[in-house]
Structure 1
Amino acid sequence: MRNITISKALIFVVFPLVNSVIGQADEYREKEPVTMSLYVDNDLFTGNNKDEDYTGGFAVTFSGEDASRHPFSIDIPLAWINNVARVHDLLGLNDAGVSQTLHSCEIGVAAFTPTEKTDRNPIADDRPYSSLIYLANTQQSISADLKNAVITSLSIGIMGLPIAGDIQNGIHSVIGSDRAEGWDNQISDGGEPTIKYSMAFQQYLDTSNENIQITTSTGLSLGYITEGTVGISLRTGIINTPRWSFNVPNSNYGEKSNITLPTSRSLNEVYFVAGANIKLRAYNAFIQGQFRDSKVSYSSREIENLVYEGWVGLGCEFSSGIRLNYLVRHQSSELKTGLADRDFTYGELVTSYKF
């Protein structure tokens, strides 16, 4: 590998540079330069300043071959789990053959709050305070015929640390909002390790127009969120990135599990996106807690097992390597009882840059 500057070494070095038209095998090789993406979630981005439920989060994702080799990477245990689970066989990808496996590494934080935040006491009938700081790695294997992909992710983190509340209150002090006083009541207060493994199988439907892309997705996650998911998504407009580079159905609040690619032909692109997921959920540690006792938590009988999610948004990428995305996400209630039985909406801003 060529010599690189210290600044590039800090942000992982190898990324898939797409060089030719879609369908040529060399387009899908991971090469320099790297792409870094910054995700910021907040209900402020929808004009809805309720500051409740999924109150916000952010993540930084590095996409490229070195994401699998960096000292902070957990790609090796992810690959081991994939091998033991025989994921490619299970999801039928080996039948078509694998053209390429892409990689990303992500660090982030997610925070959840009740409606009333000035009360220091536990609020028994609303959503619990909860938070997660995590490290995640993602692999995306694309079939040789470019019609299917398997996306797997492994996330490890710590729930219940005070840093999420410190960040929220730091932002509130800047914008003049009330402090959130109840963070001592959060799920797993003081810190508790957690883990999640997920897999998703995506199918790219053939359309008569290359600027209309439709993707169906089925997925399963085990860990701090345990659920099965089916979904469909649409991307349409002026598109110069491969259809498998669009993975909104695989994103969750907090963890994104995405691999970001630059445009394939050094051209601008502008597109509209929309989609929906149906989730059959068995467990949510952000509401139910884990092994440690929490001051506010809910039982499995009180969580909603069927959750709906939908999104719309716009995206654009410039030939300079900068990509901007804006999404509005709406999700149905995750609880059956109390004040927490409500839908919620938040916005997602994504900025990516190809170095």
Structure 2
Amino acid sequence: MLSAGAFAEEAIGDLKAELSKQPIEDTCAAKPGIRELKNYPEVFNLYYENDLFAGTDNNYTNGIKLSWVSANLADYINDPCLPKWVRQLNRFSQALQPGAFDSRNMVISFGQSMYTPTDKYRTDLIKDDRPYAGWLYMGFAYNARTANVMDTVEIDVGVVGPASLARQTQNTIHDWRGIDRFNGWDNQLNDELGIQFVKERKNKVLVINKADGPKFDAITHYGFSLGNVKTYLNAGFEMRLGTFLPDDFGTSPIRPASDSNAPLPINATRRLSGGGIHTFVAVDARAVAHNIFLDGNTFSDSHSVAKEYFVGDVSAGIAYQWAGGKITYAQVLRSKEFRQQKDAQSFGSITISLEY
């Protein structure tokens, strides 16, 4: 006669055997579906940049981007309630970024940027000032990390020219705010399909994180971009100091590979669980071979100006994080991007991150 314990073990064994025979969809509340991703914390980022924060309205005059940052892709592999293609994402990322990384995630982003000359009232082509231009795009990126290193591969696909809707967007915003419109949008760059491939590595070279004192880290980055939108080499660093430092790889203005809400190490579930405040200073330097917003269209005649081949950004700001969210503000100073440009440009950058 079986004891109670032996009987229970035999019953559990029979149940496991029966479940193993059932198709995957029978083990889920419903058939495998994308809705199951709700069980994994994700981060949504909203970026907004404008030179009105510096009291100007020209050059790089406005940028907005919304991005979705997935949870650790390795967490998806063994969940039978997720669609098969979702469970394959980590393997696809491994093919793009081979190496011994602890965790990986993906990023999908949508954005729009616009560029204008200084004189908003002229309707003719202003040959010695930057072209009117807009850029509407969608980005796909993969991050792979260890404790102190993150590699990013990103592909942006979009359109430059009237199809970017930059003219309509700016006119609508200016009308809402009672600001005079720019009158020269008829001279903007022509429609052109834009493709940009970017690869970048970030590295935490110094971390001071004592429980009884201020927190400090230093993060370097370097990478490149290829494509008819922008082609460049870049490198830089960031230093952060505060009462709390998030487990990410710094703060960047809108640019490819700027979503640094990294995947967490294995077995960690939330990225925005703690709270605190920190300040930061960052530098990015670029050697620019091509910039469509200055060089003009690639496959048709358009307005262009003589670009500067070496451009740099210096930014400083403050970030506050609470359980489930983070808000960041940075003031960015960008060196002259073309030879006829009279002054360096400054603009403000706000980022709001929410985790669900």
Give yes or no for TM over 0.5. yes
Question: Contact 2:209 / 2:216 at 8 angstroms: preserved in 1?
Answer: yes
AA aligned opposite 1:313: G
Question: Contact 1:326 / 1:350 at 8 angstroms: preserved in 2?
Answer: yes
Task: Spell out, residue by residue over 1:149-202, the C-alpha distance to the aligned partner (whole angstroms, 9 max, x if none).
Answer: 2111110000002511111111111222111111121112xx211100111112
In the aligned structure 2, how far is the partner of 1:220 from the partner of 1:232?
15
Question: Displaced runs of 4+ in structure 1, greater than 4 A?
Answer: 1-4, 65-70, 261-265
In the aligned structure 1, how far is the partner of 2:37 from the partner of 2:189?
37
Is structure 2 residue 142 aligned with structure 1 residue 139? yes
**What is the aligned partner in structure 2 of residue 203 from structure 1?**
203
In the aligned structure 2, how far is the partner of 1:265 from the partner of 1:125?
47
How far off its partner does 1:208 sit? 3.6
Is structure 2 residue 239 aligned with structure 1 residue 238? no
- Residues 106-115 or 215-224, more deviating: 215-224
Correspondent of 2:275 among 268, 280, 288:
268
**What is the aligned partner in structure 2 of residue 27 from structure 1?**
none
In the aligned structure 2, how far is the partner of 1:3 from the partner of 1:117?
58
Superposed counterparts of 1:1-355, under 5 Å: 13=37, 32-45=40-53, 48-65=54-71, 83=95, 88=98, 94=99, 97-143=100-146, 146-161=147-162, 163-188=165-190, 191-209=191-209, 211-223=215-227, 224-242=229-247, 245-249=248-252, 251-253=253-255, 255=256, 257-260=258-261, 264=271, 266-298=273-305, 302-319=306-323, 321-336=324-339, 338=340, 340-355=341-356
Cα 1:219/1:3, change in 2 over 3 Å: farther
- 3-state secondary structure, aligned to 1:138: strand
Cα 1:168/1:193, change in 2 over 3 Å: same
How far off its partner does 1:240 sit? 4.9
Question: Contact 1:185 / 1:294 at 8 angstroms: preserved in 2?
Answer: no
How far off its partner does 1:50 sit? 1.6
In the aligned structure 2, how far is the partner of 1:63 from the partner of 1:341?
38
Task: Provide the TM-score with structure 1 as the length reference.
Answer: 0.77
* Aligned positions, number: 303
Cα 1:227/1:87, change in 2 over 3 Å: farther
* Percent of aligned positions that are identical: 22
In the aligned structure 1, how far is the partner of 2:258 from the partner of 2:209?
28
5+ residue gaps, structure 1, are 15-30, 89-93
How far off its partner does 1:294 sit? 4.4
Question: Contact 2:272 / 2:326 at 8 angstroms: preserved in 1?
Answer: no
Question: Contact 1:240 / 1:267 at 8 angstroms: preserved in 2?
Answer: no
How far off its partner does 1:65 sit? 4.8
5+ residue gaps, structure 2, are 1-24, 77-81, 263-268
In the aligned structure 2, how far is the partner of 1:296 from the partner of 1:124?
7
Cα 1:51/1:13, change in 2 over 3 Å: farther
Cα 1:296/1:174, change in 2 over 3 Å: same
How far off its partner does 1:259 sit? 4.4
Task: Provide the TM-score with structure 2 as the length reference.
Answer: 0.77
In the aligned structure 2, how far is the partner of 1:137 from the partner of 1:34?
16
In the aligned structure 1, how far is the partner of 2:208 from the partner of 2:347?
34
How far off its partner does 1:329 sit? 0.8
How far off its partner does 1:221 sit? 0.7
Question: Contact 2:319 / 2:328 at 8 angstroms: preserved in 1?
Answer: yes
